[in-house]
């Protein structure tokens, strides 16, 4: 039966349903986890966020997702991901999760949207990561019209055109080196004379004929040309002085990413940058029944297709967990409210 109810289900006797699996997040990882768990008859409940669909909702052409030989618009692709998950019975809550209280001992996990409480035997975390924004004037307006946060995705759109990369880390060097295969010339703009990037990646960028390093500068503003797309970047010296004006068609911001892990901070293990840690090649976090997938975990590849693959892995891991760790005799229903309360209070108490 296809279910579309999204309110926490309450039984006639007042007990709440314990979902098999709750998925938090709705990019390629979240929707793929939903598709697989739905097809395993686990009736997943997805908290897809008010702005559902993740970063691809802010993207135009996607040309590197296999199976779309003519490319596809990001929002259209996410609609298709969602439709496919829904076809097999996925239910959606189109709202933001306010907080979670994850059980430390494989008990019932709790997810809250404001005061509404949802219970689950397993949880897949797939909240993604956001590229850090520069905060330069014109950056937001020209996003997807020249300003990009993903060279792997967009470099090919700047064939034989001038481009710049902002940042001084490995991502900036890697982006510039990749971009240099397409663009006529690439300027790397960095705010300090010293680079954080590893020597090997810095030297590779330095060695390219069409890459130039400009320091110490920041981008003051991006300006559009007559066609409404990016035409110019105005730099400022990091000491506050003036900088050159660069005619560019593409600007790649590579100043790091920020995983959307605030709601699980202090509950699951994370690295020093806030990425959720998983056990080896699996999606298992340090908490039994809690899995993590996509850009929330991956600071290396960050592609829609790799996120989808990891969402699939999370679904398979959750399915195996539910199979091998069946809940108490109450099966899917919390017929011992006191026990559920205790698990929630334990989690809330420990994690504040």
Binding residues for ligand NDP, rule: CB under 6 A, are 132, 134, 167-172, 174, 191-192, 196, 218, 254-256, 299
Task: Output 34 or 129, the one with its CB closest to ligand NDP.
Answer: 129
Is 312 a residue of the active site?
Answer: no
Q: One of 83, 150, 170, 317 is an active-site residue; which one?
A: 150
Task: Output 131 or 289, the one with its CB closest to ligand NDP.
Answer: 131
**Prior bond of 216 cis (ω within 30°):** yes
Is 153 a residue of the active site?
Answer: yes
**Shortest spacing between CB 267 and ligand NDP, in angstroms:** 24
Task: Output 134 or 334, the one with its CB closest to ligand NDP.
Answer: 134
**Shortest spacing between CB 292 and ligand NDP, in angstroms:** 18
Q: One of 154, 175, 185, 298 is an active-site residue; which one?
A: 154
Q: One of 153, 295, 312, 317 is an active-site residue; which one?
A: 153
Task: Output 138 or 344, the one with its CB closest to ligand NDP.
Answer: 138
Kindly give, in sequence order, each residue whose CB lies less than 8 Å from that of residue 62, ignoring residues fewer than 6 positions away: 56, 68, 71, 72, 73, 74, 77, 153, 304
Beta-bridged to residue 130, according to DSSP, are: 258
Q: Which of 161, 152, 182 is nearest to 248 (CA)?
A: 161
Span between the terminal Cα atoms of the chain, in Å: 38
Helix ranges (DSSP H) in the chain: 28-39, 74-87, 151-154, 170-179, 199-207, 304-324, 337-351
CA 342 to chain centre: 32
Evaluate the CA torsion angle 169, 172, 174, 180 in order and state its sign.
negative
Evaluate the CA torsion angle 135, 138, 140, 146 in order and state its sign.
negative
**Shortest spacing between CB 260 and ligand NDP, in angstroms:** 16
**Shortest spacing between CB 96 and ligand NDP, in angstroms:** 26
**Shortest spacing between CB 313 and ligand NDP, in angstroms:** 21
What does each C-alpha distance from 66 to 27, 125, 295, 305, 330 come to in angstroms? 16, 24, 19, 8, 43
Is 150 a residue of the active site?
Answer: yes
- What SS3 state is found at 202? helix
Task: Output 85 or 188, the one with its CB closest to ligand NDP.
Answer: 188
**Total residues found in the chain within this entry:** 352
**Shortest spacing between CB 343 and ligand NDP, in angstroms:** 36
Give the Cβ contact number of residue 339 at 10 Å: 14
Task: Output 162 or 256, the one with its CB closest to ligand NDP.
Answer: 256
Q: Which residue is nearest to ligand NDP (CB)?
A: 169
Question: What residues are annotated to the active site?
Answer: 150, 153-154
């Amino acid at each position: 039966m296809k279910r579309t109810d999204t309110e926490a289900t309450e039984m006639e006797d007042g007990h709440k349903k314990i979902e098999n699996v709750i998925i938090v997040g709705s990019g390629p990882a979240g929707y793929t986890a939903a598709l697989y768990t739905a097809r395993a008859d686990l009736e997943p409940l997805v908290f897809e966020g008010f702005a559902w669909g993740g970063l691809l909702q802010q993207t135009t052409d996607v040309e590197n997702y296999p199976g779309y030989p003519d490319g596809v618009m990001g929002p259209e692709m996410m609609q298709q991901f969602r439709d496919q998950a829904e076809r097999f019975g996925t239910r959606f809550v189109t709202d933001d999760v306010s907080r979670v209280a994850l059980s430390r001992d494989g008990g019932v996990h709790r997810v809250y949207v404001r005061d509404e409480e949802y219970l689950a035997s397993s949880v897949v975390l797939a909240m993604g990561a956001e590229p850090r924004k520069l905060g330069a004037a014109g950056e937001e307006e020209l996003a997807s019209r020249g300003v990009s946060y993903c060279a792997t995705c967009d470099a090919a759109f700047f064939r034989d055109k001038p481009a710049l990369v902002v940042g001084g880390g490995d991502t900036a060097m890697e982006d510039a080196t990749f971009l240099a295969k397409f663009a006529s010339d690439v300027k790397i703009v960095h705010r300090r004379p010293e680079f954080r990037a590893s020597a090997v990646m810095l030297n590779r960028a330095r060695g390219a004929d069409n890459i130039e390093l400009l320091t110490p500068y920041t981008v003051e503003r991006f300006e559009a040309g007559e066609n409404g797309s990016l035409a110019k970047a105005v730099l400022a010296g990091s000491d506050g002085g003036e900088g050159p004006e660069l005619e560019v068609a593409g600007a790649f911001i590579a100043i790091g990413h920020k995983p959307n892990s605030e709601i699980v901070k202090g509950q699951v293990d994370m690295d020093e940058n806030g990425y959720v840690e998983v056990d080896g090649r699996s999606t298992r976090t340090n908490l039994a029944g809690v899995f993590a997938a996509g850009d929330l975990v991956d600071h290396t590849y960050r592609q829609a297709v790799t996120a989808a693959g990891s969402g699939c892995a999370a679904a398979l891991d959750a399915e195996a967990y539910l199979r091998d760790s069946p809940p108490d005799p109450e099966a899917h229903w919390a017929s011992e409210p006191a026990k559920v309360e205790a698990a929630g209070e334990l989690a809330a108490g420990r994690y504040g």
